């Protein structure tokens, strides 16, 4: 039987050691990139072994340092954290392969610091995923912000520096002023910061104070990009595309919505929130964010900025579903974390592929590009269809569970948001697919634009893998679905005995 406790410790330590080795190999780029791939592969092996244990019922816990009574640095593996860690661990392998093709194909400078910070970000991500309490979570949440700032400012120009200031200002400001305040309030009210099935606040807070604490968490966790604390996300698009993929699919925004769902399930408990009328505001704020971000996305001609606002919208889907406070809605929220990861990383991989091969970054420049880059744009179609929520992609499954939850709980507002936003998603994604394959390439004055083909093979392989995964998870969703069901059951105060198919209230 595997030593699961050692595997939990290995998860953040492997990328940390990898970062040190990468830093020492600055003058040997081939070896440096080989170490990056090996490190990512080792982490993937660790999380897959932990995943097998969690699916068999294992729940390893490790306490490292006690700071105060009920406050310690500790790790504990539960289904939601396991899902997040598995997504990040597997996608890091693919993103590393992609990064090699992108960074070399675009002759990017400071590649060593790029790979070092990437590894450090994954170490922080593993710490977040396996945090056993709010104190540990906050430490690694802040470390993730700090380790990704150099990635956002990678280009070193004025635009990148300005984006870095926005990124750091919003994320650190919201976490210190709001998130930390929420954690302190929770400790005072409950006497502990542990994550427990059914939450820790029942009998400690109620009514308006409970709703106010929920607001501190919702906006304090700025990485969830809930409006109006979303500007850091489009601003960060100045970074190289592999960083955008990290921000949107592998670590940063996933850490945000993961934290929101984790707090709702393991700190508040969905029974308590469902019974608190004053807490129902969150579903409306998140739903409005879904629609507003989609409307803004439609107006963006820059492809990465369009994808960035799409991410703001998709993250708010997760928050909106979680804010219905029913087991089935929590299941849909957890599934959408996985669905968004594979669909959105594919779309950002495509944006980088187009930039590398064709030096284009605007939607208005993409007429006919599918004829020259068929693999790339076919992958874009798959990613876009998953974001829209069309059948044969994993995005359909997560939205289906959200829809079922809204119908069961007679959430008319949520049903309206799902309907309107799906149309808006199609409106800003489908035209790109249409012009890419069915329009002729644009003329450049009296001359045809220079011919080009696909991007370097590591890029094409990486985006093909993630697009294929977005389809395969539709047909074989057992693993994420099992984890999502376990998360849904964890939010119920009894901790068991209620099916995710019901409301649990």
Q: What is the pLDDT along the chain (505 residues), one digit of tens a residue?
A: 678 888 999 999 999 999 999 999 888 888 988 999 999 999 999 999 999 999 998 888 898 888 887 788 999 999 999 999 999 999 999 989 988 888 887 777 888 888 999 899 999 999 999 999 999 999 999 999 999 999 888 877 888 899 889 999 999 999 999 999 999 999 999 989 999 998 999 888 889 999 999 999 999 999 988 999 899 888 887 877 777 777 666 788 889 999 999 999 999 999 999 999 999 999 999 999 999 999 999 999 999 899 989 999 999 999 999 999 999 999 999 999 999 999 999 999 999 899 888 888 899 999 989 888 999 999 999 999 999 999 999 999 999 999 999 999 989 999 999 999 999 999 999 999 999 998 877 654 444 555 678 888 888 999 999 999 999 999 999 999 999 999 988 877 544 434 454 443 3
Q: Hey, what are 366's tokens?
A: 């993409």
- At 494, phi and psi to the nearest 5? -75, -20
What is the β-pairing status of strands 447-448 and 61-68?
Answer: unpaired
CA distance 27 to 30: 9
CA distance 484 to 503: 15
Question: Would you say residue 252 lies in a domain?
Answer: yes
Question: Would you say residue 500 lies in a domain?
Answer: no
Report which of 366, 483, 455 is spatially closest to residue 101, judged by C-alpha positions.
455
Question: Would you say residue 496 lies in a domain?
Answer: no
3-state helix, strand, coil in the chain (%, to 5): 75, 5, 20
Q: What angle do CA 158, 162, 163 make, to 5 degrees?
A: 115
CA distance 282 to 287: 8
- Neighbouring C-alpha atoms within 13 Å toward the C-beta of 29: 11
pLDDT at position 270 is 92
Q: Hey, what are 326's tokens?
A: 């029913």
Tell me how crowded residue 411 is: count the other CB atoms within 10 A of its CB. Answer: 24
Contact 493, 202 (CB under 8 A): yes
Question: Would you say residue 286 lies in a domain?
Answer: yes
Q: Which residues pair with 71 in a beta bridge?
A: 68
Range of the domain at 154: 4-490
- 332's enclosing H/E stretch is helix 327-358
Q: Does residue 388 have a cis bond before it (omega within 30 degrees)?
A: no
Q: Is 494 exposed, middle or buried (0-12, 13-18, 19+ CB in 10 A)?
A: exposed
Our count of domains for the chain comes to 1
Question: Would you say residue 14 lies in a domain?
Answer: yes
- 75's enclosing H/E stretch is strand 71-76
Report which of 314, 283, 264, 440 is spatially closest to residue 368, judged by C-alpha positions.
440
Question: Would you say residue 502 lies in a domain?
Answer: no
Contact 143, 127 (CB under 8 A): yes
Question: Would you say residue 306 lies in a domain?
Answer: yes
Question: Would you say residue 441 lies in a domain?
Answer: yes
Q: Hey, what are 292's tokens?
A: 């507003």
pTM reported for the whole predicted model: 0.90
Q: Which residues pair with 166 in a beta bridge?
A: none
Buried/exposed code over 373-402 (b: 16+ C-beta within 10 A; e: otherwise): bebbbbbbbbbbbbbbbbeebbbbbbbebb
Q: What is the DSSP letter of 361?
A: -
Residue whose tokens read 């649990």: 504
What 3 state SS string does 293-324 have? HHHHHHCCCEHHHHHHHHHHHHHHHHHHHHCC
Report which of 215, 491, 218 is spatially closest to residue 332, judged by C-alpha positions.
491
Q: What angle do CA 362, 367, 371 make, to 5 degrees?
A: 120
């Amino acid at each position: 039987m595997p030593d699961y406790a050692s595997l939990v410790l290995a998860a953040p330590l492997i990328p940390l050691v990898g970062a040190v080795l990468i830093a020492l190999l600055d003058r040997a780029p081939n070896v440096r990139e080989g170490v990056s791939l090996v490190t990512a592969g080792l982490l993937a092996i660790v999380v897959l072994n932990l995943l097998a244990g969690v699916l068999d019922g294992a729940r390893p816990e490790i306490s490292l340092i006690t700071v105060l009574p009920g406050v310690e640095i500790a790790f504990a593996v539960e289904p939601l954290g396991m899902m997040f860690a598995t997504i990040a661990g597997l996608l890091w392998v693919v993103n590393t392969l992609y990064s090699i093709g992108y960074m070399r194909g675009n002759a990017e400078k400071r590649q060593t610091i790029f790979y070092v910070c990437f590894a450090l970000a994954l170490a922080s991500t593993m710490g977040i995923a396996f945090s056993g309490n709010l104190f540990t979570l906050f430490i690694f949440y802040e470390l993730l912000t700090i380790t990704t700032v150099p990635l956002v400012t990678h280009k070193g120009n004025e635009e990148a520096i300005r984006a870095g200031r926005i990124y750091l200002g919003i994320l650190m400001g919201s976490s210190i002023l709001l998130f930390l305040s929420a954690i302190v309030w929770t400790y005072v009210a409950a006497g502990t910061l542990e994550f427990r099935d059914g939450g820790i606040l029942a009998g400690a807070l109620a009514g308006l104070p409970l709703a106010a604490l929920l607001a501190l968490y919702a906006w304090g966790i700025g990485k969830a990009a809930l409006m109006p604390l979303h500007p850091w996300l489009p601003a960060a698009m100045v970074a190289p595309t592999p960083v955008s993929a990290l921000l949107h699919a592998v670590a940063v925004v996933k850490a945000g919505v993961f934290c929101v769902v984790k707090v709702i399930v393991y700190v508040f408990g969905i029974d308590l929130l469902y019974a608190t009328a004053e807490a129902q505001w969150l579903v409306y704020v998140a739903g409005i964010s879904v629609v507003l971000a989609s409307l803004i996305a439609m107006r963006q001609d820059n492809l990465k900025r369009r994808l960035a606002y799409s991410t703001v919208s998709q993250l708010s889907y997760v928050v909106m579903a979680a804010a219905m406070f029913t087991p089935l809605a929590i299941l849909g929220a957890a599934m959408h974390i996985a669905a968004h990861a594979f669909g959105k990383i594919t779309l950002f991989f495509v944006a980088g592929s187009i930039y590398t091969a064709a030096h284009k970054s605007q939607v208005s420049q993409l007429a006919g590009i599918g004829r020259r880059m068929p693999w790339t744009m076919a992958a874009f179609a798959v990613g876009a269809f998953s974001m829209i929520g069309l059948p044969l992609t994993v995005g359909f499954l997560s939205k289906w569970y959200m829809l079922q939850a809204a119908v069961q709980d007679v959430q008319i507002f949520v049903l309206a948001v799902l309907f309107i936003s799906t149309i808006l998603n199609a409106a800003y994604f489908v035209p790109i697919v249409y012009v890419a394959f069915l329009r002729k390439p644009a003329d450049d004055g009296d001359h045809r634009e220079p011919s080009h083909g696909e991007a370097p093979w590591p890029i094409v392989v990486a985006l093909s893998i993630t697009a294929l995964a977005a389809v395969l998870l539709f047909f074989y969703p057992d693993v994420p679905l099992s984890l999502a069901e376990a998360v849904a059951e964890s939010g119920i105060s009894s901790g068991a005995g209620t099916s995710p198919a019901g409301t649990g209230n």
